[in-house]
Amino acid sequence: MNLEQALQLLKDKGYKYTGKREEMLKICADERRYLSARDIMERMRGNYPSLSFDTVYRNISTFVNLGILEETEFDGEGKFRLSCSTTGHHHHIICTSCGKTISVPHCPMTVMPNVAEDFVVTGHKFEVYGTCKACNE
Amino acid sequence: MNLEQALQLLKDKGYKYTGKREEMLKICADERRYLSARDIMERMRGNYPSLSFDTVYRNISTFVNLGILEETEFDGEGKFRLSCSTTGHHHHIICTSCGKTISVPHCPMTVMPNVAEDFVVTGHKFEVYGTCKACNE
DNA sequence: TATTAAATAGGAATTATTACGATTATGCAA
DNA sequence: TTGCATAATCGTAATAATTCCTATTTAATA
């Protein structure tokens, strides 16, 4: 997904256009890696010095619900990135230092032995963590 | 791992025996599923009404470092369980309602394409979430 | 039994996130 | 273009999980 698609989707769904929403999405589109809510707030402070937590968290939540952002959680906080263009279901190798990702189309669920007949499976998480080349230097 | 092994390991490593540590481990050994720090505290309040956060969190941290407890994180909080007897590396299917688990010896890393030559891989997480039979009723 | 270092209590501090009433701004229709 | 209804935002308080800190207590052992 790119910025234009994200803004169009918001419009189609009847959400109002605001400068803050555009800037949030712009930041995510420019960086294309996992950012925390605080990361996003910090990058917006220049243009919107009086930005509220509420605005950022509520908009993030909206974007996640619409599929504009992908969400995960590690190091004790939520992380968000613009949904990958990778078609369909995928996983990530994630740099825990800068949030940069590599997409992995391979999903372990396809080869999971069906040991869980007693479980109603609602989801799964497969992530590989490490540090990227740039962060290693 | 069982209660006796855990207590022995603590002793071998030079940690002091305390009733609180034994009870924490007893709770984990009896339940054998993922519990939050708060879950553990609540179960101890009867015997130790003046139990401190610090005690629980510090002991959990000690136990995790010694490999007595396995740690994960979902629903915004840390979860802990007595290390499985399953030999070696494994993953879990986890009931997000009660913390009950099923061990899965299969690890997706063994079949991961090596797309990460630019990454120094430090870890990974593979968990399947759902609700168990008992919680579904 | 006395000593010493580890463990704990009690509560304050931190951090991430959510909640909420008051205010402001967007989209739309007259 | 203006006014209206409602969504979005602000400012801040509330929550919730976790960590930190100091005085006190306790387990191990000499």
Position A74 scores a pLDDT of 92
CATH code for A91-136?
3.30.1490.190
Question: Which is nearest to A38 in space by CA: A58, A56, A13?
Answer: A56
CB < 8 Å to A110, chain B: none
Q: What is the mean pLDDT of residues A93-100?
A: 95
Helix-helix angle A19-31:A37-44, to 10 degrees: 110
**Which residue is closest, via its CA, to the C1' of C5?**
B16
Question: Which is nearest to A80 in space by CA: A25, A33, A127?
Answer: A33
Question: Is the pLDDT reported for residue B105 higher than 90?
Answer: no
DSSP 8-state secondary structure symbol assigned to residue A84: P
Q: Which residues contact B69 (CB under 8 A, 6 or more apart)?
A: B28, B60, B63, B80, B81, B82, B83
Give tens-digit pLDDT for A59-93.
999 999 999 999 999 999 999 999 997 678 999 99
User: Is the CB atom of residue A72 positioned under 7 angstroms from any atom of strand C?
Assistant: no
pTM, entire model = 0.92
Question: Boundaries of CATH 1.10.10.10 in chain B?
Answer: 3-82
Beta pairing, strands B120-131 & B91-95: parallel
Q: How far is the CA of A97 from the C1' of D15 (A)?
A: 29
Across the interface, which of A76, A95, A127 has its CB nearest the CB of B119?
A: A95
Of A44-53, A85-94, B113-122, the range with the lowest mean pLDDT is B113-122
CB < 8 Å to B109, chain A: 128
Structure tokens at A6: 């994200």
Q: What CATH topology corresponds to B3-82?
A: Arc Repressor Mutant, subunit A (1.10.10)
Q: What is the mean pLDDT of residues B8-20?
A: 97
Structure tokens at B13: 């490593």
Structure tokens at B14: 């030079």
Question: Boundaries of CATH 3.30.1490.190 in chain A?
Answer: 91-136
Chain A residues with at least one Cβ partner in B under 8 Å: 73-74, 76, 93, 95-96, 102, 104, 106, 108-109, 111-113, 115-116, 118-133, 136
Distances (CA, A) of B24 to B30, B57, B59, B65, B81: 10, 11, 8, 15, 11
